Structure 1
Amino acid sequence: MTEIKNIISNNDMVILYFSNKVCGACDVIRSKVQDILEFYSKVKLIDIDGEEHIELAAQHNVFSFPLLILYVDSKEVMRVGRNVNLLELEDTIKRYYDMLF
């Protein structure tokens, strides 16, 4: 947990991506998020297996997979789950990215 807090506080933009091994949607959405982040190289993506790290998932109020949390300047600015709107996600990332960098 301390390691995740350090990553969030030491990077301007961080995405925590909670998933599990048996979630087909998790793999598809992760791939699409990675495609988006090719244009935003300063955004750090942390992939977390929520079933292996149950305590970490619970501390972030993760109750289903996938769940993506976007942090900007150590503050949560977006939280989306299975029904992620990729255009909205990219717009949000771009807006903050353009302000920071």
Structure 2
Amino acid sequence: MNVQEITSVGEIDTFIQNNRFSMLYVSQEDCNVCHAIYPKLKELLSNFPEIKLAHVDARRVGEVAGKFLIFTVPTIMMFLDQKEYLREGRFVQFEQLERKLQQLHNVI
């Protein structure tokens, strides 16, 4: 899976504008939960090739927390046509997330 590394808030805006289905994965280097969830998320998204994934390190792009009201990492945010469609934070329930993505896939 090809993941875009984001280094500024401007890049986030461009990524969301350029991809109908876009997902942001916001993490931090020193977060063990973040490191555990990331490979699982990439594996899950391999079943949904239309969803484009970008990774944001919240320490390097500090403005991301204020822009999207992120209070904990990891945070997964899915955008559909530039509107936030779903958000999962800290402890991600992958079965539930997969169900939501499958519903979206079926509707589209």
TM-score, normalized by length of structure 1?
0.91
Provide the secondary structure at the position in 2 that maps to 1:22: coil
Aligned twin of 1:15: 23
SS in 2 for 1:7: helix
- Code of the residue aligned with 1:57 in structure 2: it is A
> Following the alignment from structure 1 to structure 2, what is the Cα–Cα distance between the partners of residues 25 and 58?
21
CA distance in 2, matches of 1:98, 1:5: 26
Aligned twin of 1:90? 98
CA contact (8 A) 1:69 1:76 kept: yes
- Please, what TM-score do these two structures have when normalized by structure 2? 0.85
Contact 1:72 1:96 in 2 (8 A): no
Q: CA deviation at 1:3?
A: 2.3
> Is the Cα contact below 8 Å between 1:69 and 1:79 reproduced in 2?
yes
1:27 aligns with 2:35: yes
- Superposed, 1:55-94 pairs within 5 Å as 55-94=63-102
1:18 maps to amino acid? V
Equivalent in 44, 47, 50 of residue 39 of structure 1: 47
Runs of 4+ in 1 over 3 A off after TM superposition: none
Letter in 2 for 1:2: G
**Gaps in structure 1 of 5+ consecutive residues:** none
2:104 is matched by which residue type in structure 1? Y
Over the residues paired in the alignment, what is the CA RMSD in angstroms?
Answer: 1.2
CA distance in 2, matches of 1:7, 1:96: 20
Query: Offset at 1:94?
Result: 1.4
| Deviation (angstroms), 1:83 | 1.7
